[in-house]
Amino acid sequence: MTRIGSRRRRSTQAKIRTLKESLNTEFAEIFKLCIFVLGASSRPQLISATLRTLKAFLSWIPLGYLFETDLIRTLIERFFAAAQFRNAALECLTEIASLADLEPKYDQKVVQLYVGVLQALGQVVPPNASLASAFEATGREADQTFVRRLALFFSGFFKAHLRLVETREQGPLLLDGLNYLVRISAVPDNEVFQICLDFWHASVYSVTSRHRRASSPGMMEVGGFLVEFDPRAGLLRTSTRPKRADPPRDRAATATTTPSSRPLRQRAPVASPVVSADGPRRAGRRPTPASSSSSTAACSVKRDWS
């Protein structure tokens, strides 16, 4: 059964690969048709259907159609700005922004995509607006869908291309995007919360992994404790701070010690008082062997106490 399943899997993958290769050769005509409809048509239903069709191809079509044409600029400037097509355009931009392992020659195009969406978003959602209150106040499905897709855009872009904006030049834009994502995380919606939580978990793991690579033990001191992150269990393990070993002393130096460095004598333990017929004895003195009469008297005293 295992061999049959593996053969079917390999044949299915081969068919998919063949269909993609054949479609790549014919996609030029499909792409020209989509660009023509997006640029010339004024029918909202036709434009929405074209954006949905384009979104289905964006994850695997040749990258030249995405970054070497005006597709990204058209999506941002014409369709993202229009409230009627904003969700469909943002869905297409999310597919492009989530593409990972791109060639270095497309890095600048990816940064321009992020900057363009951030600038267009600033005109739609003010930087200090509360997305949580707006999400609850409006209650419209289109607005709630927009917030969910906005969370997918930022989380997908940061997962795939965070290194491109972790620079001194793009630092303020990176903080603006993270600020949006923090406010999106406060939206009272389970789906939005899961999207944001997945990104924050991956972000914390990335930062911790960098720290582990930088320091061999992979431990940080926090409040007098050593905190170690276990990526397998996903837990933070704490342990007390280990004591530093005293440096080895020279024998000649220890032979001529100063009075301040001499070890203090330990005090002898104080003996507890012993109760006998003669009364309590002073602490520190060894008791003398008791005679038979004293032992008898001690027994009689114990009987009186009982």
How far out from the chain centre does Cα 254 lie? 53
Is the four-CA dihedral 90, 73, 45, 84 of positive or negative sign?
positive
Closest CA to 151 of 100, 204, 98: 98
Q: Hey, which CATH number is domain 2-220, 1.25.10, 1.10.10, 3.30.60, 1.10.3470?
A: 1.25.10
Q: What is the pLDDT of residue 147?
A: 92
According to the per-residue pLDDT averaged within each range, which of 53-57, 216-220, 301-305 is highest? 53-57
How far out from the chain centre does Cα 110 lie? 23
SS3 277: coil
Q: What is the pLDDT of residue 203?
A: 85
Is the four-CA dihedral 72, 73, 76, 82 of positive or negative sign?
negative
Between 263 and 164, name the one with better pLDDT: 164
Closest CA to 242 of 217, 261, 212: 217
pLDDT band at 298 (very low <50, low <70, confident <90, very high): very low
Q: Torsions phi, psi of 278, nearest 5?
A: -80, -5
Taking the whole predicted model, whether its pTM rises above 0.75 is answered as no
Type of residue found at 120: A
- Take residue 237 and report the two structure tokens written for it: 């393990």
pLDDT band at 38 (very low <50, low <70, confident <90, very high): very high
Q: HSE (CB half, 13 Å, CA atoms) of 127?
A: 9
Q: What is the pLDDT of residue 217?
A: 47
Query: What are the residue ranges of helices labelled H in 58-189?
Result: 64-67, 71-74, 86-97, 107-124, 131-138, 141-165, 171-185
Q: Is 120 a residue whose pLDDT tops 60?
A: yes
What average pLDDT does range 226-246 have in this prediction? 48
What average pLDDT does range 216-225 have in this prediction? 46
What is d(CA 60, CA 48) in angstroms, rounded to the nearest whole number? 21
Between 67 and 24, name the one with better pLDDT: 67
pLDDT band at 254 (very low <50, low <70, confident <90, very high): very low
**How is the chain split into domains, by residue range?**
2-220
Type of residue found at 87: N
Query: What is the side-by-side strand order in the sheet with 219-222?
Result: 219-222, 225-230, 235-240
Q: Is 207 a residue whose pLDDT tops 50?
A: yes
Q: Torsions phi, psi of 146, nearest 5?
A: -65, -40
Between 106 and 244, name the one with better pLDDT: 106
Between 223 and 127, name the one with better pLDDT: 127
Task: Find tokens 């044409």 and name the residue.
Answer: 69
What average pLDDT does range 131-149 have in this prediction? 82
